[in-house]
Structure 1
């Protein structure tokens, strides 16, 4: 197989592409001093944000002032589900628009988080244009903030999601992606990204624990100890990923939502709803974390496989995702799965983050 062919990954044509950008503004005493109360601060700033966003043709955005974490997923209908710690947005980029303030009047937020969801068609192909629009929006927003020294943290989130078992269901058509890092793609489209930025690429897969799967992995006689189930899955996962030299992996089976961060820059403490996973893409040693409790049966197990710094250079992301797919196919071949009826959704995530540079606010 040629090197050029290895750099491509063939993904089902019905792949779904998502992109959203968050802009985080720290709430300081100096900022709040300009308003009589929290409610007035949040409502005043949200009106400014919504008006400026519409000028930049940004039609789906949310302002979060209760410190809840945004989670974005595709759906044919638009939904917003708040939990104690998260706000889960479901939407279809082709149809859905929104301007919503998610607030708690008597609560002092640590940060004001603006969530801008990409809209239209060909989300991945137009990702740089969307980022440029957001940069222009922020350049206009910052002079209108009452405090001029506030920095803004930008996080650009993109992912492709598709069924690993698509071919078994008769979906034979695929498209060859030559994956590149966000900074390389944006550089080719005249979208400025500061040299000092953080980036992370990883794949997540959620494996539902069906009755058939549990029966095949658990001993015939067992009490309330599900350790044999989790241990078999863990052993199979480690074996499959190690065979493909995938060193940054995690297994989560404790009912929490995995959240991946670059451990070189971000703290990785967990919460009541979120299991933080930290990987350093620059470290070549094995990085494996597991979070499961044999006394607690969960509905699904989450697997995470992060890319290294070398995987993201010189067309390496295609080779990385091919290795991930090979590892997942090896893992699932050991399980009692009906590939013609069951889904295993692969989500390929690309993140980039940076502090707002001075040239954007001049």
Structure 2
């Protein structure tokens, strides 16, 4: 592969793009005392949010007072699913707009959170403009809050997702991505960020455990799947190491991996989320493997985190090429129906800071 091609990764033209920004701050006694009751606090806050959002051309905005973690995915229809710990938004950025308050009567949230879902076309090209609109929204919101100097945390989430076996399904056409770092893209488009910005770039891979894989992995009936998971982990670590990818995790316990920068955040797993912590500055951390030996999961979930050495001026194209090569080596070890099984790769880019 030529040097110029190594700077880009060629992904299916059907690749999906998402961006959403969350901002949040603690709901303190001092803040709540400015209102007659909890419901009035939520209602007046949401009305203010929608009014300011409209001014900034932010058209898909949700106020969350349930302390559930927002998760966003592309879908042709717009709907929202809730679990004990998650608020899952499904929508098509090109068509769907909404303003909604997500609350539970009588429940006092630990923090007030706003979720801005990007709308329109060419989300990646317009990501800096979207972030700039949110920054202007925050600047207008702050002086209107009943408590001054509220510590607002901003998290910008961007990801692209695609089926790793798209070509096997006849989707041959591709497009080249450089996958520039978020802060670099924003700077070029005159959207300046604070100095203390935390960044995290990583890939998640989901491989469904269908009948063909079960037949290959399970020699006989068993209630202890330790050997199965050990085999999967060993092969994954071997494949990633062969491509100089050293920050990896395997999750096979039914939970969703939640990747965080362990240098800045304390990590505690929950019933639904498996916290996976990496310090991007650490060159060779130990692989992380979480499994439940008492059950065979429906999906194997894998994580590959980019380090500082993977970030170049051109972007993360070379890193993603290494990821694709490693996944190709790994999946060739298994009997996967490439024409029908969807193995979804998702490249995440996160930044966070205090506004």
TM-score norm. by structure 2 comes to 0.98
CA distance in 1, matches of 2:272, 2:128: 32
The question of 1:212 aligning with 2:204 is answered: no
Unmatched 5+ stretches in structure 1: 357-362
What secondary structure is seen at the aligned counterpart in 1 of 2:318?
A: helix
Who is 2:330 aligned against?
Answer: 331
- Which secondary structure does the structure 1 equivalent of 2:337 belong to? coil
- Which stretches in structure 2 are left out of the alignment for 5+ residues? none
1:69 match: 69
Alpha-carbon distance change, 317 to 117 in structure 1, aligned in 2, over 3 angstroms: same
Deviation at 1:303, TM superposition (A): 0.3
What's 2:146 paired with? 146
Q: Which residue of 2 aligns with 1:360?
A: none
Does structure 1 retain, via aligned residues, the 8 Å contact 2:181–2:315? no
Q: Secondary structure of the residue that 1:287 maps to in structure 2? A: coil
Cα separation, 2, equivalents of 1:150 and 1:223:
55
For residue 287 of structure 2, give the secondary structure of its aligned residue in structure 1.
strand
State the match for 1:239 in structure 2: 238
C-alpha deviation, 1:316, in angstroms: 4.9
CA contact (8 A) 1:202 1:307 kept: yes
Q: Is the 8 A contact 1:39 1:104 kept in 2?
A: no
* Alpha-carbon distance in 1 for matches of 2:35, 2:54: 25
Aligned to 1:273: 272
Q: Is the Cα–Cα contact under 8 Å of residues 208 and 342 in structure 2 kept in the other structure?
A: no
CA shift for structure 1 position 202: 0.3
* Superposition RMSD in Å: 1.0
- 8 Å CA contact retained: 1:19, 1:156: yes
Instruction: Determine the C-alpha separation between the residues in 1 that align with 2:21 and 2:222.
Output: 46
Distance in 2 of aligned mates of 1:315 and 1:234: 32
Q: Distance in 2 between matches of 1:33 and 1:316?
A: 48
Q: Distance in 1 between matches of 2:267 and 2:69?
A: 14
Alignment map for 1:110-189 (pairs within 5 Å): 110-189=110-189
Distance (whole Å) between structure 2 residues aligned to residue 95 and residue 228 of structure 1: 47
Partner of 1:109: 109
Find the aligned partners of 1:320 and 1:332 in 2 and give their Cα distance.
18
CA distance in 2, matches of 1:187, 1:26: 30
Match of 1:81 in 2: 81
User: Which residue of structure 1 lines up, in the alignment, with residue 303 of structure 2?
Assistant: 304
- Say whether the 8 Å CA contact 2:56–2:137 is kept in structure 1: yes
Q: Distance in 1 between matches of 2:156 and 2:76?
A: 23
Partner Cα separation in structure 2 for residue 13 and residue 135 of structure 1: 31
Moved more, 154-163 or 3-12: 3-12
List per-residue Cα deviations over 1:184-220 (Å, max 9, x = no partner).
000000001111100000000111110110111111x
* Conserved? CA contact 2:142–2:149, under 8 Å: no
User: What are the superposed Cα offsets for residues 74-116 of structure 1, whole Å, 9 maximum, x if unpaired?
Assistant: 0000111111111111000011111111112322211111000
**2:208 and 2:341 in contact (8 A); partners too:** no
Structure 2 residue matching 1:157: 3-state secondary structure:
strand
1:22 to partner: Cα distance: 0.2
Per the alignment, residue 90 of structure 1 pairs with: 90
> Structure 1 stretches (4+) deviating beyond 3 angstroms?
none
Is residue 202 of structure 2 the alignment partner of residue 202 of structure 1?
A: yes
Q: Cα offset for 1:172? A: 1.1
**Structure 1 equivalent of residue 289 of structure 2:** 290
- Give the Cα separation in 1 of the matches to 2:169 and 2:284: 38
Whole-angstrom CA distance in 2 between matches of 1:251 and 1:12:
25
| Aligned-partner Cα distance in 1 for 2:315–2:49 | 38
